[in-house]
Amino acid sequence: MAHPLPSGNSLARLFLPAWTIAVLVFLYLPIILLVVYSFNNVPNNMDLSAHWHGFTLRWYRAMWADRLLMQSVRNTLIIASAVTVVSIVLGTGAAWLMHRFVFPAAGGLQTLILLPMIIPEIIMGVSLMLLFRAIGLNRGYLTVIIAHVTFCFPFVMAAVQARLAGIDPSLEEAALDLGATPIRAFFSVIVPYLMPAIVAGGLLTFTLSIDEFMVTYFTYDARSMTLPILIYSEARTGLKLTLNAVSTLFIAGTVILVLAMELLRSRR
Please provide the DSSP assignment of 177-210 as one string: HTT--HHHHIIIIIHHHHHHHHHHHHHHHHHHHH
- For the chain, the average pLDDT equals 85
CA angle 231-233-239, nearest 5°? 55
Answer yes or no: is pLDDT of 258 > 80. Answer: no
SS3 track for 22-58: HHHHHHHHHHHHHHHHCCECCCCCCCCCCCCCCECCH
Closest CA to 164 of 115, 217, 95: 95
Residue type at 114 in one-letter notation: L
CA distance 177 to 214: 50
Average pLDDT over residues 133-142: 93
Q: Which pTM value belongs to this model?
A: 0.84
Answer yes or no: is pLDDT of 135 > 80. Answer: yes
pLDDT of amino acid 205: 93
CA distance 208 to 216: 11
Answer yes or no: is pLDDT of 71 > 90. Answer: yes
Average pLDDT over residues 136-151: 94
pLDDT of amino acid 260: 79
Q: Please measure the distance between the N-terminal and C-terminal CA atoms of the chain and give it in whole angstroms.
A: 60
pLDDT of amino acid 45: 60
More confident position, 147 or 244: 147
**What letter does residue 64 receive in the DSSP assignment?**
H
pLDDT of amino acid 54: 81
CATH class of 58-237: mainly alpha
Closest CA to 252 of 38, 41, 7, 108: 38
Alpha carbon distances (Å) from 98 to 89, 101, 107, 219: 14, 6, 9, 30
The angle that helices 241-267 and 67-100 make with each other, rounded to 10 degrees, is 30
Among left, alpha and beta (phi > 0; psi -120 to 50; other), residue 103 is beta
Phi, psi at residue 138, to the nearest 5°?
Answer: -70, 145
In the chain, where the domains are located = 58-237
pLDDT of amino acid 220: 93
